[in-house]
């Protein structure tokens, strides 16, 4: 290609880019592509389904260590554990059923009256003896407690399953 022809092509392209209708077409095309990509992401997230707690990788920690990490620095512990799947081992303090007919297991911690509060996902019968148990669930963080009444906060695990070891 001769240099003059190249310059002529460059001039024509520059004229098209300065044309307002051409710019509108470009903007509409970009918006259309963004709409399609956004719709695809939304469809994927909507149909993704819940996290499979049982088969997910879990961070293993004892009930005492988990509670102590929230007690010493709740912000750092929240970043490290909240929303993550944990496998917590500890001594059973109490087993009860809440108003939604979900089984609640309280694991003992180093603080009197404070527990790791585990809400079971399935209707598994849990032996109420105060032995060692392994529970896998999603950490929700630490509750508020009530300092005026002297009630310490609990750390909450949801969607829990008892792990047989």
Stated pTM of the model: 0.72
pLDDT, position 40: 94
87 in a structural domain: yes
Do 146 and 84 lie in one domain? The reply is yes
**Of the candidate ranges 11-15, 40-44, 60-64, the one whose mean pLDDT is the lowest:** 11-15
8 in a structural domain: yes
Listed in sequence order, the residues at least 6 apart from 93 whose beta carbon sits closer than 8 Å to its beta carbon are 106, 107, 108, 115, 130
Count of residues for the chain?
Answer: 165
pLDDT, position 2: 59
- Residue 14 pLDDT class (50, 70, 90 cuts): low
Q: How many domains does the chain have?
A: 2
53 in a structural domain: no
| Residue pLDDT, tens place only, 81-95 | 999 999 999 999 999
Alpha helices in 48-161 (DSSP H): 63-72, 74-81
DSSP classification of residue 104:
E
| Residue pLDDT, tens place only, 116-133 | 999 998 877 777 677 899
Which structural domain, as residue segments, surrounds residue 23? 3-47
Q: What is the CATH number of the domain that holds 103?
A: 2.40.50.140
Do 35 and 72 lie in one domain? The reply is no
Inter-residue contact 48 to 112 (CB < 8 Å): no
Do 36 and 96 lie in one domain? The reply is no
Inter-residue contact 104 to 119 (CB < 8 Å): yes
| Residue pLDDT, tens place only, 156-165 | 999 999 998 7
54 in a structural domain: no
């Amino acid at each position: 290609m001769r240099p003059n022809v190249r310059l002529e092509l460059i001039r024509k392209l520059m004229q098209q880019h300065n044309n307002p209708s051409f710019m509108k077409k470009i903007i509409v095309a970009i918006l259309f592509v963004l709409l399609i990509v956004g719709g695809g992401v939304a469809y994927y997230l909507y149909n993704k389904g819940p996290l499979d707690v049982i088969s997910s990788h879990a961070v293993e920690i004892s009930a005492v260590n988990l509670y102590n990490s929230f007690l010493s620095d709740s912000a750092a512990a929240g970043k490290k554990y909240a929303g993550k799947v944990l496998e917590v081992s500890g001594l059973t303090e109490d087993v009860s059923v809440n108003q939604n007919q979900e089984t609640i297991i309280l694991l003992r911690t180093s603080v009197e009256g404070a527990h790791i509060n585990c809400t079971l996902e399935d209707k598994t019968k849990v032996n109420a003896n105060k032995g060692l148990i392994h529970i896998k669930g999603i950490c929700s963080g630490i509750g508020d407690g009530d300092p005026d009444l002297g009630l310490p906060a609990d750390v909450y695990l949801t969607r829990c399953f008892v792990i047989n070891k």
